[in-house]
Structure 1
Amino acid sequence: MPASIREEEWFRQRDVLARFGELALKSDDLDEILHEACHLVGQALGTDIAKVMELQPDGTTLLIKAGVGWPSGIVGNVTVQANQTSSEGNALRTGTAVISEDIETEDRFEYAAFIRDAGIRALVNVIIIGAKDQPSYGILQVDSCKPRRFTEDDTKFLRSYANLIAAAVSRLRKIAEMREGEARLRVSEERYRALVTATSNVVYRMNPDWTEMQQLDGRGFLPDTAKPSKAWMLGYIHPDDQAQVMTSIQEAVWAKGIFALEHRVCRADGTVGWTHSRAVPLFDQQGEITEWFGAASDITELKRVEGALIEGEGRLRTLMEGIPLLVWRSGNEGKWTWASPQWLDYTGQRQEESRDWGWLQAVHPDDHAMARQAWHEAGKDGLLDVEFRVRRAADGTWRWHQTRSVPVRAVPGPGHPKGRILEWLGTTTDIEDLKHLQGQQGVLLAELQHRTRNLLAVVRNVARRSIDPSPGRNQYDARLAAMGRVQGFLARSSAWSVPLQELVNAELLAAGDGTSDRVIIDGPSVNLPGDGVQPMALALHELATNAVKYGAIAQPSGHLSVTWRLEGLGSTAQLVLEWRESGVAIPNGLPARQGYGTELITRALPYQLKAKTHLEFTLDGVRCTIALPAGTFRNEDGRT
């Protein structure tokens, strides 16, 4: 290349450096600087095509941030991967200029499709140095639509040019950081002023040795005539607490630590209140305290509530220690936090031994699993009710105890509609003597049932011998037999109840057929208590007898369905039994009169059990519904 041309290029490049340098120092618009950088560098090298690519946070992607000579949609949208197979990646990795004189013959790198689509044949990549925490800002790339040899002078120029871009980027970033810092400072100051203005506390500043005080703002309880001096401060603090406050201040000053103390104050209205004072020191570069910043919170009401809680706790403790029961307090899952003196005297445990699961050591080993399981279920049910044996220290005997507890709950809130469980308060009661009495009662009850069955047998035998054989005598005998079956059920039950399923099966079987495939019996597990099972047994006996003699069981085309269900909850719960016959042909029409069975169902059951009944003789068979109210039955979990 002739010397005159090289000199012309050299002067043009120096002119571009000067022009861009002036712009980089004056402009605060990064987009403007980068766009003009691409425009001027294209002029300097005579290509009119250039771009600046910004390295993204992932360290492997370059975004075309600015450019000239490119089709619409490229700048600001297209990215390039800076990997080992790209010329851009090699420039970032090596820090040197990477030149491709003709990409058609270049075998070192791969080029993005948009570069080939734009007709680029040659390019040079120069790294733009970044800040310390980001060594590379990105890449300056100058492109040419025809093969070109970039000289050493070109690369020196481009490195200088890239350094000017880096300096401009660094300057603008520092300006942005400074402005951002100023904005954060303004926000912080505004927040500080808002906090001090909004707080109900007294906010103050103190000099290093606490001899002078300046109240900043806030609505508190300091006297209006207060002066920023140590003498005033002592007048504000209750005389009985002044020595403690001054000692705590001196200790905080010596330790250069936080001052925090609760103490009494003389309030502006002449009354005595409580405050929680807390101050933190501020330090200079040498680590010396320059001032204290603090706040005083009025905790008078909190102290009043705290005193009331302590008083209430004392009353509760007195009550629990005075009642003749073994009383305790627990967290969740049965982890005791306190045991009453009654428990400690009874079991011989020390207070620390009973805490957590330690109380189980006083429970019979065979009952440990049962006790733990009961506590686990209590968390779901909100009630603990379990019986286990406890060792009495006085004589070493194991005695049965009933343990009951309900949780103490906080006020209901979001996520806790019933209120979060704070603790469990419970009692453990000696029921050993009661169990013995119940056992004796069971023996007496069994003897009574045995004698009742014998008496019914005698009555049946007398009736057979005294009454001439007739349908009426047979019905009377069958009803006495039904009553005897009920007594047999109760004699075998420890719960003084009879399962409804067994009662229905027994009456159908006694009547003549309870196993026919034309009979459906279905319903949940329900027990009838002893005082209500007798009338129900007689009602089922009458229905079953009628079905076997005339109805669904007697006729080959008939079907019988005996089902029951539970409806409602609590006091509105009821047990609904339905007797449904179908496929029955009544040759002589519906019965003309009501017999004993009809009166029993329609009148005796409503009177004795408060039941709602409906009995209907249809041309297709008998329909009967009996609804027993809550209290006359027990479902499968034992509740009435």
Structure 2
Amino acid sequence: MADDNAMVRRQRLLADFGEFALRSENLDEILHEACRLVAEALGTARAKILEIQEGGQSFLVRAGIGWDPGIVGELRLPMGEQSSESYSITAGRPVIMRDIRAEDRFSVPEFMRAAGVVASVNAPILLPGGKAFGLLQADDTRPREFGQEDAEFLRTYTIILGPVIDRLLKLGQLRLAEERFRLTVETALDYAIFVTDRDDQITDWLPGAAAVFGWTAEEVAGRPGAVLFTPEDRAKGEPRKEVLTAMEHGWAPNIRWHLRKDGSRVFIEGSLRALHDEAGELRGFLKIGRDATDRRAAEERLRESEERFRQFGEASSDLIWMRDAATLGFEYLSPAFEPIYGRSREEQLADNTLESWAALVHADDREMVVQRLLSVRDGARANFEFRILRPPDGELRWIRNTDFPLPDQSGRVRRLAGIAKDVTEEKASAARLEVLVAELQHRGRNLLGVVSAVAGRTLGQVGPVEHFRSRLQALSRAQGLLSQSGSDTVEVGALIGAELEAYAQAEPPKVTINGPKVRLTSRQVQNFALALHELTTNAVKYGALKGEEGQLSVRWFIGQTGRGRRSLVLEWEETGYEVPPEAGRRGYGRELIEKALSYALRATTDYRLDAKGVRCRIELPLA
């Protein structure tokens, strides 16, 4: 009868534990209650639950009653091969030790001996699936004949306890997962996350969606997901297309502009995913999207900036370049590289090394150029000029470079940039200007000498002041032609035209002018212009240009002197008029032609005047 009462009491305690396990979701409370009820059922002072930890390397006294502080929740025991606890886990059955003082099968933990434990019985706790959680152990400080019925009771208890522990462990994991999910969705306010049903009606509206779109969960509940699309996308049926794509393929991209509650627009990068149950039936849709409005605006500004830079570089006649500070290879070359360097951008970028570019630099300037680049990489600015030899003809060109560093936010130079300008023509113009200044000084001195001679001859013969003035004007016209040409030469035809253009009647057929383009130097122009002036004024006063009857023919050509040099041969012929007697007087003009040209220009002249008119032939060596 006593055994029956013990059995009933134990069954009642098992039932009490079951009720407690149903009411509680706290694993530590349930494990503690399990220990208490086991101790009561077996009539012992102590009970404990050991949990396997550290990947099966140790036990933790997870729960217990009757133990001193510092044991429960603190003490760890190694899973030694000789311990009864390890054997029970490995064998999967209870172990009874009736008197540990005489125990020779297993080693006994020292803390149990110190607590005065004499007898002990344990049983493994197995989770569903057979995985061991630990073991339940009852201890007694008195000699105790634990029997097989005690071991079976513990085994029954652990069979009930295992699923309870498994449920609570999974519940804890689920709660952790839910907490992580809650924290994620509540803090990820840049991400709009919401759920719709199979008809795309909004059912769940998470905090990120409220932050991004401005609607509260109450305001959008039951509304279609299309409410977030722009009017133009709704008009094109984009919401329905997105849903159909997700139904067919499981997901659909959602990268487009959307509407906020206040009517403003937000650019979303995300997707729509179809939600199916275990049977594969469609239950709804999950939409996750990131607010990329600011980033898209920044990218658009960057694209616009890059486009402006590209347009500037493409339009510039100067070369705009950019180099990587580490390798000094080009990252960008504007189209002006090709006309300046005589090499295509593609060819240069294909062999994109400092050495390949430096090979284009004149050997005498190469070291200086490389050193300037290195100084810019160290943070300096540089303005310098150097020479290049353009492939494939080796033409020498002068380049003016303005180089400067491009540091990052930390101040470290990441890139080098610069502007290169071809200044070859500028250099040539500057050199020529120096020559022209020197020539102008020389020409001025010569001109003063000519003016002095003209003045002496004209005024010394008591000639009219008008004659002196007209000769100065002839010199002025010659100087004007030199200035207009931009060089120190004047074309013969221009000189003749300048003298004759003052006379309206100097046109065909009365006047004919014919000859090739021949240029005279400034030294030749002054005296030759005076000779033309004298021939012209004589023709106006006495000859072919005085009346309407005469004709004037002026022609010139390239000849050859007796020494084989090129020469200018000019033939001036006046015909068809009556020659007045005074025309035969020898004056300054004839003396200039016959003597001054020979002296100043080493010219040979032949001046003839007879009843038929004037014929003058002038031949002077060309420079």
Structure 2 length-normalised TM: 0.50
Instruction: Name the CA shift for 1:394/1:71 in 2 (closer, same or farther; >3 Å).
Output: same
- Residue among 231, 236, 239 paired with 1:236: 231
Match of 2:406 in 1: 408
Instruction: Name the CA shift for 1:305/1:186 in 2 (closer, same or farther; >3 Å).
Output: closer
Match of 2:321 in 1: 327
Instruction: Name the CA shift for 1:392/1:245 in 2 (closer, same or farther; >3 Å).
Output: farther
Match of 1:25 in 2: 22
- Residue among 146, 152, 157 paired with 1:150: 146
Instruction: Name the CA shift for 1:187/1:131 in 2 (closer, same or farther; >3 Å).
Output: farther
The separation in 2 between residues aligned to 1:213 and 1:176, in whole angstroms, is: 27
The separation in 2 between residues aligned to 1:42 and 1:214, in whole angstroms, is: 50
Contact between 2:271 and 2:287, CA under 8 Å: does it hold in 1? yes
The separation in 1 between residues aligned to 2:202 and 2:148, in whole angstroms, is: 72
Match of 1:567 in 2: none
- Residue among 56, 71, 75 paired with 2:72: 75
Within 5 Å, give how 1:168-247 maps onto structure 2: 168-177=164-173, 179-180=175-176, 236-237=231-232
Match of 2:583 in 1: none
Within 5 Å, give how 1:435-514 maps onto structure 2: none
- Residue among 328, 331, 337 paired with 1:337: 331
Question: 3-state DSSP class of the match of 2:327?
Answer: helix
The separation in 2 between residues aligned to 1:72 and 1:307, in whole angstroms, is: 70
The separation in 2 between residues aligned to 1:15 and 1:429, in whole angstroms, is: 102
Given residue 351 of structure 1, which amino acid in structure 2 is its aligned partner? E
**For 1:268-303, what per-residue CA distance to the aligned partner results, in whole angstroms no more than 9, with x for missing partners?**
99xxx9864545223131375945747787679658
Matched, 1:113 2:104: no
Instruction: Name the CA shift for 1:433/1:27 in 2 (closer, same or farther; >3 Å).
Output: same
The separation in 2 between residues aligned to 1:39 and 1:233, in whole angstroms, is: 59
Given residue 162 of structure 1, which amino acid in structure 2 is its aligned partner? T
Tell me by how many angstroms 1:400 deviates.
10
Matched, 1:166 2:162: yes
Given residue 416 of structure 2, which amino acid in structure 1 is its aligned partner? W
Contiguous gaps of at least 5 residues in structure 2: 216-222, 427-623
Question: 3-state DSSP class of the match of 1:70?
Answer: coil
Match of 1:392 in 2: 390
Match of 1:363 in 2: 358
Tell me by how many angstroms 1:81 deviates.
1.4
Matched, 1:140 2:136: yes
Match of 2:271 in 1: 280
**For 1:301-329, what per-residue CA distance to the aligned partner results, in whole angstroms no more than 9, with x for missing partners?**
6587457525531453146x411x57344
Given residue 392 of structure 2, which amino acid in structure 1 is its aligned partner? A
The separation in 2 between residues aligned to 1:329 and 1:189, in whole angstroms, is: 45
The separation in 2 between residues aligned to 1:205 and 1:52, in whole angstroms, is: 44
The separation in 1 between residues aligned to 2:203 and 2:42, in whole angstroms, is: 70
The percentage of counterpart residues that share the same residue type is 26
Contact between 2:335 and 2:345, CA under 8 Å: does it hold in 1? no
The separation in 2 between residues aligned to 1:47 and 1:212, in whole angstroms, is: 60
Given residue 283 of structure 1, which amino acid in structure 2 is its aligned partner? A
Tell me by how many angstroms 1:138 deviates.
1.7
- Residue among 330, 349, 357 paired with 1:354: 349
The separation in 2 between residues aligned to 1:111 and 1:368, in whole angstroms, is: 88
The separation in 2 between residues aligned to 1:26 and 1:221, in whole angstroms, is: 42
The separation in 2 between residues aligned to 1:214 and 1:142, in whole angstroms, is: 51
Contact between 1:353 and 1:359, CA under 8 Å: does it hold in 2? no
Given residue 363 of structure 1, which amino acid in structure 2 is its aligned partner? A
Instruction: Name the CA shift for 1:163/1:408 in 2 (closer, same or farther; >3 Å).
Output: same
Question: 3-state DSSP class of the match of 2:138?
Answer: strand
Tell me by how many angstroms 1:84 deviates.
1.8
The separation in 2 between residues aligned to 1:33 and 1:204, in whole angstroms, is: 38
Instruction: Name the CA shift for 1:218/1:329 in 2 (closer, same or farther; >3 Å).
Output: same
Given residue 361 of structure 1, which amino acid in structure 2 is its aligned partner? S
Contiguous gaps of at least 5 residues in structure 1: 223-227, 435-640
Contact between 1:402 and 1:431, CA under 8 Å: does it hold in 2? yes
Contact between 2:196 and 2:284, CA under 8 Å: does it hold in 1? no
Instruction: Name the CA shift for 1:111/1:364 in 2 (closer, same or farther; >3 Å).
Output: farther
The separation in 1 between residues aligned to 2:113 and 2:204, in whole angstroms, is: 73
Tell me by how many angstroms 1:117 deviates.
0.8
Number of aligned residues: 407
Instruction: Name the CA shift for 1:339/1:143 in 2 (closer, same or farther; >3 Å).
Output: same
Question: 3-state DSSP class of the match of 1:170?
Answer: helix
Greater gyration radius: 2
Instruction: Name the CA shift for 1:276/1:231 in 2 (closer, same or farther; >3 Å).
Output: closer
C-alpha RMSD of the superposition: 5.5
The separation in 1 between residues aligned to 2:225 and 2:37, in whole angstroms, is: 70
The separation in 2 between residues aligned to 1:93 and 1:363, in whole angstroms, is: 78
Instruction: Name the CA shift for 1:89/1:188 in 2 (closer, same or farther; >3 Å).
Output: same
The separation in 2 between residues aligned to 1:248 and 1:331, in whole angstroms, is: 49
Matched, 1:425 2:417: yes
**For 1:348-375, what per-residue CA distance to the aligned partner results, in whole angstroms no more than 9, with x for missing partners?**
3442651583464343499999999997
The separation in 2 between residues aligned to 1:145 and 1:138, in whole angstroms, is: 23
Instruction: Name the CA shift for 1:385/1:333 in 2 (closer, same or farther; >3 Å).
Output: farther
Instruction: Name the CA shift for 1:20/1:108 in 2 (closer, same or farther; >3 Å).
Output: same
The separation in 1 between residues aligned to 2:343 and 2:331, in whole angstroms, is: 17
Given residue 322 of structure 1, which amino acid in structure 2 is its aligned partner? S
Instruction: Name the CA shift for 1:291/1:130 in 2 (closer, same or farther; >3 Å).
Output: closer
Instruction: Name the CA shift for 1:248/1:242 in 2 (closer, same or farther; >3 Å).
Output: same
